Amino acid sequence: MSEVLVTVERGQLVESLHRGDIAIVSANGDVVSSVGDIEKVVFARSSMKPLQTIPIIETGAADHYHFDDGDLALACASHNGEKQHTERAASILSRLDLEVANLQCGTHPPRRQEAYEELIKSGGDVTPIHNNCSGKHSGMLATAKHMNETVDDYYKIEHPVQQRILSVISELTDVPVDDIQIGIDGCGVPVHGVPLRNLALGFARMADPSGLKESRQQSIRRVTDAMMNAPEMVGGTSRFCTDFMKHMNGKMFGKVGAEGVYCVGVPKAGIGIAVKIEDGNARATNAVIMEILSQMDLINEQEAEALESYHRPTLLNARKEKVGMLKPVFSIYQKA
Amino acid sequence: MSEVLVTVERGQLVESLHRGDIAIVSANGDVVSSVGDIEKVVFARSSMKPLQTIPIIETGAADHYHFDDGDLALACASHNGEKQHTERAASILSRLDLEVANLQCGTHPPRRQEAYEELIKSGGDVTPIHNNCSGKHSGMLATAKHMNETVDDYYKIEHPVQQRILSVISELTDVPVDDIQIGIDGCGVPVHGVPLRNLALGFARMADPSGLKESRQQSIRRVTDAMMNAPEMVGGTSRFCTDFMKHMNGKMFGKVGAEGVYCVGVPKAGIGIAVKIEDGNARATNAVIMEILSQMDLINEQEAEALESYHRPTLLNARKEKVGMLKPVFSIYQKA
């Protein structure tokens, strides 16, 4: 069963709490540590995007369409819909000779409020390019176009774009294709359900691909280097993914997924970390990741200080007064 | 311990779930039914607003400043920041000879996206009047002004405005003033922590005040009638509080509180219902309330149909496709 990972305190009271599960796995599949139930099947949601980016490289689409680190990082992104993101997505689409209308991800307002306000003030419309997944969809279109496949239905599970992704996920997580649970994501494409342990294994292999075939090693390193070299593309201003990778400065990569998922790969330690908050609330994930890295001594004082507001977030009210805080309360070294 | 109340399903998988506690109590204090731990102390947050509105009437401020049902309902509100709400709050302030600057609630964008967009497009600024609590704060100012008290510090726990509120809450929930836990709300005023059972008792007495002194009975009925007569003021367009009271048409009243709290009073049955979602997620509360009322047979077919989307909410993606649903999974008649 999921364990209490984070308490939400207001005044002297624990007002709410978040349960969840943690899997820490090495690239050879060993479970380094765990909290809760790591065999629970979870939809990885957007935390799977780094794995989903691999086919862009392996089909040759990335080279053909001149994807740089920023483009690959945007394909891994759940971005803020800031200009830096939408302009890059537009640039990818124009290289493909496609348009915003080809994105099948649907629309939602830019995640960052300032970007949303700016758009409205300028008289602009919210379009699929503002969808936090527009980079991923642009990348999917790149592979479809490059492989001479249809571009209208790339989001369907039976399309070669999705089948290539499914193969990569199966290979990296050690879950047979037929055992991967499929749902539909917020942006219309398939989401992949695997045991939390296997999700962590996937990130461990992204962190240390040395046991994989040479070409796969290269494509994986190109993806994770891109994320760590262009972290501003993976999230955006004031987002954990971005600030985390900026401050960790090449030491590790991380990616959020909806419904309280977060995954990290630590190349030097050769491990992958996967976290799922039982109730799906994203507010607890950053604190959990920071606490795990702190307990494992994988983060130095300077990094810890720079990321403190993510580790023990304070709750501010509309008057900007501190009224509470989130507090990680688990130990990865103490079994239930 | 909290029990699983609602599952969040995507495809064939339970992706997330929400645990929580339910107290159903009659006006004489009997526990009619319960799920989970009803002795748990919870911050009632904004679900306490109907009780907090009583002093506006009992000080004479409501009559002096010509509060109608809409004004009293707005004092009970966590509103959308629509024009109907901000204009009414402005009207109350002008009757008090006060200004928006006197509201000490801080600012946040209007809750309703369309209201926010409209404001930005019109070149307007977000001010404290758009804060979902601006009605409550206007009501607090009304009592301070009417009682010739200071208006600059009405939000502090030691101010007579807050002390009167504390007394009413203590009397209605049967929790001694000194045992009420105090925290600070999102809008800067005190929040009140009482056992869930006592919160339900407070709503039971709001639903059936017949055991209380005559003047208190009258002030309570004036508050709850106002909520049921002007439900559009309590929340706004597409909000559960509003749609629920509209469709229940005088049969019951309900009020949301932050961090997954919801309370209902059912006058005919003489009961109060209080729900707390352990993880604080508001998305689960409506489904829980609808399920309780359905299990208790307090809702007819027509009402159930009108409120079905709150009872079993579907999850839509950005393409407007149904990708999942929330499902209540508890029974109030089966003890753990």
On whether the CB atoms of residues B273 and B256 are closer than 8 A, the answer is no
The conformational region for residue B244 under phi > 0 = left, psi -120 to 50 = alpha, else beta, is alpha
Q: Is B154 helix (H, G, I), strand (E, B) or coil?
A: coil
Tokens of B188: 């800067």
Q: Does any domain span residue B282?
A: yes
Query: What percentage of chain B has pLDDT greater than the value 90?
Result: 99
HSE at residue B274, side-chain half, CA atoms within 13 A, is: 33
Q: Is A189 helix (H, G, I), strand (E, B) or coil?
A: coil
- Read off the DSSP letter of residue B313: P
CA distance A184 to chain B (A): 6
Q: Does any domain span residue B238?
A: yes
* Residues A274, A326: Cα–Cα separation, whole Å: 20
Q: Do B193 and A318 lie within an 8 Å CB cutoff? A: no
On whether the CB atoms of residues B115 and B80 are closer than 8 A, the answer is yes
Mention every residue, 6+ apart, whose C-beta is less than 8 A from residue B51: B165, B168, B169, B172, B173, B202, B206
- ipTM given for this complex: 0.96
Instruction: Please count the structural domains in chain B.
Output: 1
Averaged pLDDT of chain B: 97
The angle formed by the CA atoms of residues A278, B113 and B184, to the nearest 5 degrees, is: 60
On whether the CB atoms of residues A24 and A303 are closer than 8 A, the answer is no
Q: According to the model, what pLDDT value does residue B336 have? A: 43
Q: Does any domain span residue B334?
A: no
The angle formed by the CA atoms of residues A135, A239 and B277, to the nearest 5 degrees, is: 105
* CATH code: domain of residue B48: 3.40.710
Q: Does any domain span residue A93?
A: yes
Q: If you count them, how many residues does chain B have? A: 336
Q: According to the model, what pLDDT value does residue B57 have? A: 98
Q: Does any domain span residue B336?
A: no
Which pLDDT tens digit goes with each residue over A182-217? 999 999 999 999 999 999 999 999 999 999 999 999
Q: Does any domain span residue A336?
A: no
- Please, which residues 10-29 of chain A have a Cβ atom closer than 8 Å to chain B? 10-13, 15-19
Tokens of B112: 């309703």
Identify the residue whose tokens are 């159903």: B24
Name the residue in chain B with its Cα closest to that of A103: B319
DSSP helix, strand, coil percent of chain A (3-state; round to 5) = 45, 20, 35
Which pLDDT tens digit goes with each residue over B128-183? 999 999 999 999 999 999 999 999 999 999 999 999 999 999 999 999 999 999 99
Of the pLDDT bands very low, low, confident and very high (cuts 50, 70, 90), residue A336 is very low
Best residue in A78, A279, A315 for a mutation probing chain B (most B CBs within 10 Å): A279
Query: With an 8 Å Cβ cutoff, is B137 touching chain A?
Result: no
User: Above 90 in pLDDT, residue B335?
Assistant: no
CA nearest neighbour of A15 among B258, B272, B241: B258
- Read off the DSSP letter of residue B327: E
What is chain B's Cα-based Rg? 19
Query: What percentage of chain A has pLDDT greater than the value 70?
Result: 99
Mention every residue, 6+ apart, whose C-beta is less than 8 A from residue B54: B168, B216, B219, B220, B223
Choose among A43, A117, A317: nearest Cβ to B10. A43
Segments forming the whole domain that contains residue B298: 3-328
CA nearest neighbour of A317 among B128, B135, B141: B128
CA distance A301 to chain B (A): 31
Q: Does any domain span residue B319?
A: yes
CA nearest neighbour of A17 among A310, A290, A277: A277
Q: Does any domain span residue A295?
A: yes
Rounded to 5 degrees, what are φ and ψ at B326?
A: -95, 135
Q: Is A101 helix (H, G, I), strand (E, B) or coil?
A: helix
